[in-house]
């Protein structure tokens, strides 16, 4: 029996936008794809079968969280992350680099890697490109991300250039440490902040090393949508056209639509699940704050056209009540709705690109939100 190889096939394009399929031995990922975030081996408030029912083909797991607790070696000894969390479709893991920078304390960055203390119990860890590759292999991740470093914006050009070049050296070490693993993919991460020439230098360095896919990193870190779209006007075109392009940590529905228009294939964001726990529903007509008193007597669903369980079976009045009462079902229903909405949006984008009608789809997307 031959193992299915990892591969990416573009099936249709419309302008810069593409739709296709990313094939892995754990299943196909239809692109453009949205990956729900399962930080600590769970998408909060969701059973894995419910996440699959929303239409998700792939989940994201966080190396930083899992290495601290329960530990990568423990997950491996229990059969890997898929078995541990009962998710049998593809999993992408981040490298841990970004979250070390944003969550850990007492970080010490050197050429070798990063030394830091756990935000949970203060214990000391050393994360390097080699250790990040080992952790992601122990977890059983299907799509592994290069270990990189990303300065918060705004940062001066010198700092961005030095950081990007360090990340490119780490990308080469990640590639070497990843080794030969048929059916598994390693993605490089483009850096360079908002500087077009640094982004080009980073893309060239990554292409020289060669990866199964390429992420656009260092965006959605406080620069704003206009600046992000400014980079996305050129960054996807700097990366190899025949490989998947992944915009990390993005985003709001209109961020995703704008990025798909500019040629991005994959996304992840905590927004739909996090908003679900704070009483915010994301819908075709925009965000709805279920906390608002105007929903207390409303017998209508969140969105009468949505087919998710929250909209099919419950009123806004009920969702308002369970949120105000602090009931767990509030997080469950709103998270389910939000993830369902995101997957419907991705399905709509894929279908529109396949038909060559992306512009019409995007016009309708904006029109509904203005009502």
Residues annotated as catalytic (active site), given as ranges: 94, 268
User: In 146-207, where do the E strands start and end?
Assistant: 185-190
Q: How far apart are CA 134 and CA 178, in angstroms?
A: 8
Of 34 and 147, which has the nearer Cβ to Zn ion? Answer: 34
Contact positions with Zn ion (CB under 5 A) in 269-328:
306, 308, 310-311
Q: Which of 337, 339, 349, 353 binds Zn ion (CB under 5 A)?
A: 337
> Taking the CB of residue 298, how many other CB atoms lie within 10 A of it?
16
Residues 6+ apart with CB under 8 A from 90: 24, 26, 27, 29, 57, 58, 59, 142, 143
Burial of 68 (0-12, 13-18, 19+ CB in 10 A): buried
150 marked among binding-site residues? no
The CA R_g of the chain, rounded to the nearest whole Å, is: 20
CB of 283 to Zn ion, least distance (A): 7
* 265 is an annotated ligand-binding site residue: no
For the CB of residue 196, give the shortest distance to Zn ion in the complex, in Å.
40
Cα-to-chain-centroid distance, residue 16: 21
CB-wise, 85 or 306, nearer to Zn ion? 306
Owner of token pair 């949006």: 345
DSSP state of 245: E
Please say which residue, 178 or 323, places its beta carbon nearer to Zn ion. Answer: 323
In the bound state with Zn ion, the residue whose beta carbon lies nearer, of 87 and 341, is 341
In 3D space, the residue among 176, 161, 83, 94 whose CA is nearest the CA of residue 127 turns out to be 94
Q: How many residues bind Zn ion (CB under 5 A)?
A: 5
- Minimum Å distance from CB 271 to Zn ion? 16
Question: By the 8 A CB rule, do 55 and 307 touch?
Answer: no
Nearer to Zn ion, 112 or 305 (CB): 305
At its nearest, how many Å lie between Zn ion and the CB of residue 269? 18
Please check whether residue 302 is in contact with residue 310, taking contact to mean a CB–CB distance below 8 angstroms.
yes
Work out how close the CB of 307 gets to Zn ion at its nearest, in angstroms, rounded to a whole number: 7
Binding residue per annotation — 357?
no
- Of 213, 210, 211, 101, the closest CA to residue 149 belongs to 101
The dihedral of CA 324, 48, 33, 36: what is its sign?
A: positive
Which segments are annotated as binding site for Zn(2+)? 306, 308, 311, 337
Which segments are annotated as binding site for substrate? 94-98, 148, 191, 218
Which segments are annotated as binding site? 94-98, 148, 191, 218, 306, 308, 311, 337
Residues that bind Zn ion (CB under 5 A): 306, 308, 310-311, 337
């Amino acid at each position: 029996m031959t193992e299915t190889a990892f591969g990416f096939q573009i099936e249709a394009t419309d302008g810069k936008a593409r739709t296709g399929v990313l094939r892995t031995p754990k299943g196909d990922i239809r692109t453009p794809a949205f990956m729900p975030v399962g930080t600590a081996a769970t998408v909060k408030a969701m059973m894995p079968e419910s996440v699959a029912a929303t239409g998700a083909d792939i989940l994201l797991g966080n190396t930083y969280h899992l290495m601290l607790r329960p530990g990568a070696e423990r997950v491996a000894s229990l059969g890997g992350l898929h078995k541990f969390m009962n998710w049998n479709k593809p999993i992408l893991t981040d490298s841990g680099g970004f979250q070390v920078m944003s969550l850990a304390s007492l970080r010490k960055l050197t050429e070798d890697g990063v030394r830091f203390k756990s935000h949970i119990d203060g214990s000391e860890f050393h994360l390097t490109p080699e250790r990040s590759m080992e952790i992601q292999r122990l977890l059983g991740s299907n799509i592994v991300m290069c270990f990189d470093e990303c300065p918060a914006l705004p940062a001066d050009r010198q700092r961005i250039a030095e950081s990007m070049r360090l990340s490119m050296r780490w990308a080469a070490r990640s590639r070497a440490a990843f080794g030969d693993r048929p059916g598994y993919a390693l993605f490089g991460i483009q850096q360079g902040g908002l500087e077009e020439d640094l982004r080009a230098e980073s893309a060239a360095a990554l292409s020289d090393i060669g990866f199964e896919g390429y992420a656009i990193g260092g965006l959605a870190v406080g620069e704003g949508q206009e600046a992000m779209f400014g980079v996305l006007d050129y960054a996807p075109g700097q990366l190899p056209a025949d490989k998947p392009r992944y915009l990390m940590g993005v985003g709001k529905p209109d961020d995703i639509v704008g990025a798909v228009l500019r040629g991005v294939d994959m996304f992840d964001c905590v927004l739909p699940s996090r908003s679900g726990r704070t009483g915010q529903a994301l819908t075709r007509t925009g965000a709805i704050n279920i906390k608002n008193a105007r929903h207390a007597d409303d017998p209508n669903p969140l969105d009468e056209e949505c087919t998710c369980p929250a909209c099919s079976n419950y009123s806004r009045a009920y969702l308002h009540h369970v949120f105000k009462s602090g009931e767990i079902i509030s997080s469950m229903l709103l998270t389910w709705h939000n993830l369902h909405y995101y997957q419907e949006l991705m399905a709509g984008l894929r279908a529109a690109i396949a038909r060559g009608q992306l512009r019409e789809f995007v016009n309708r997307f904006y029109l509904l939100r203005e009502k």
